[in-house]
Structure 1
């Protein structure tokens, strides 16, 4: 009886949490297709709000493409740099290693907005302002401290005997990293990549500073402009945009949750 009560309490509590977190998403999805006089879907249920979103300015597909490019570049840059850096911090001894790593981690305590002015000035000089590549580089800089911490912790959890055995068999440093250690730290790689994607896909502040060409807007910035247009806030289209932005995040999270 005690076991049954405990199990029932667990399912009730977990179900309540699931409903609490899912309710806003479900409500937004339903509201995006529901009729309302202040939206593009005024009569009956339909996809009028999504049609307005698809036809806005440069087009929804263009904004999705911009967000996809920035997110993909951010994930690639973050993983390459954090894997190499985490491997170096975890396996090599060099002067100032711990101090340098502490400085990198300390960047997490600095508000990200305060770090935007130097890249804004520098990228204006080298032609990377108002550029998707420059936007991805800045977002990578913001993600590197956490990703570096994640990868160093992951590499340190792998027994050194695996690496030493490969070195004895003739593997070089990069061969050990590629064929032995990466397979062992794959969950850490996926976690760092997932966090980098979620940040790059949803961030609004960095594009607001660096992008001024509407054809290069990522989806969050385009949604903000659409919601606050001269004709007034269109919450139906905003809800449709939230649904579109949430779908890739939900798919990736559900696929990689383990």
Structure 2
């Protein structure tokens, strides 16, 4: 093996270790015994044995760990499905159809990315209150979808632009029209873009904190990031490090599973339309 190949593999292993070490520390710290769980999870620490006591204490915060996890899953999955549905239709329209003021409308959609979310939080709160959706998980899904759509529409427009129009014309000759064209012909071709949009929507909705904190007032409807604030604060200012690391571990699991399963499509989706 050539020296530069050895250097390449050694460097790759070091970089992988730097990224995996914090994850390993958090997971191991969540299984520490009650006597050790009060200490900050900084290595090295003595490990006297494994215990799920941190997860038991985490379940005691709020309604229950299962309910708050269900709230987060409802919000994240709802945001993902709605974002993918709207962005695919919008991206296909901007890529393949002609209509008045099309460039201006697309620029206006992208311009909303530059608006800080914090500056429109109060109007969004008042809007949800007027619609009767304040303090509801459905209202939170609509807010997250609205915030995610500009980037998602841009991604899907690029994904559809990367598909040669000759494929679509050949399908039309075979009699494929309208929704069937989008689902059976264009859909499989832009699948990496759809996966990328869905993954971004899920991760952003799963980890978002500020909107959930402001728009939700019922403790039983809190998502996991909001629940973690009460775990983090503790009683009398103390920090239950074991419960904190258990909560972080629970929040990491869906993100890691989704990324590992969809990473190939995700990488292809990010580069779709970048080179023509």
SS at match of 1:57: coil
Question: What's the counterpart of residue 130 of structure 2?
Answer: 125
Q: 1:243 aligns with which of 238, 249, 258?
A: 249
- TM-fit CA distance, 1:133: 0.3
CA RMSD of aligned residues (A): 1.6
CA contact (8 A) 1:74 1:140 kept: yes
Alpha-carbon distance in 2 for matches of 1:250, 1:107: 30
1:38 to 1:30, Cα distance in 2 relative to 1, 3 A: closer
CA contact (8 A) 1:105 1:145 kept: yes
Tell whether 2:24 aligns with 1:26. Answer: yes
SS at match of 2:111: helix
Alpha-carbon distance in 2 for matches of 1:56, 1:224: 10
Alpha-carbon distance in 2 for matches of 1:11, 1:99: 49
Q: Deviations over 1:203-244 (max 9, x none)?
A: 111101100101000111011122113343212111110000
CA contact (8 A) 1:158 1:184 kept: yes
1:33 to 1:56, Cα distance in 2 relative to 1, 3 A: same
Alpha-carbon distance in 2 for matches of 1:202, 1:92: 35
SS at match of 1:56: coil
CA contact (8 A) 1:35 1:45 kept: yes
Tell whether 2:230 aligns with 1:225. Answer: yes
CA contact (8 A) 1:219 1:245 kept: yes
Q: 1:77 aligns with which of 82, 88, 93?
A: 82
SS at match of 1:257: helix
Question: What's the counterpart of residue 256 of structure 1?
Answer: 262
TM score, norm. by length of structure 1: 0.94
Tell whether 2:169 aligns with 1:164. Answer: yes
Runs of 5+ consecutive residues of structure 2 not aligned to the other structure: 40-47, 265-276
Q: Deviations over 1:137-169 (max 9, x none)?
A: 100111111111110000000010111111122
- TM-fit CA distance, 1:36: 6.1
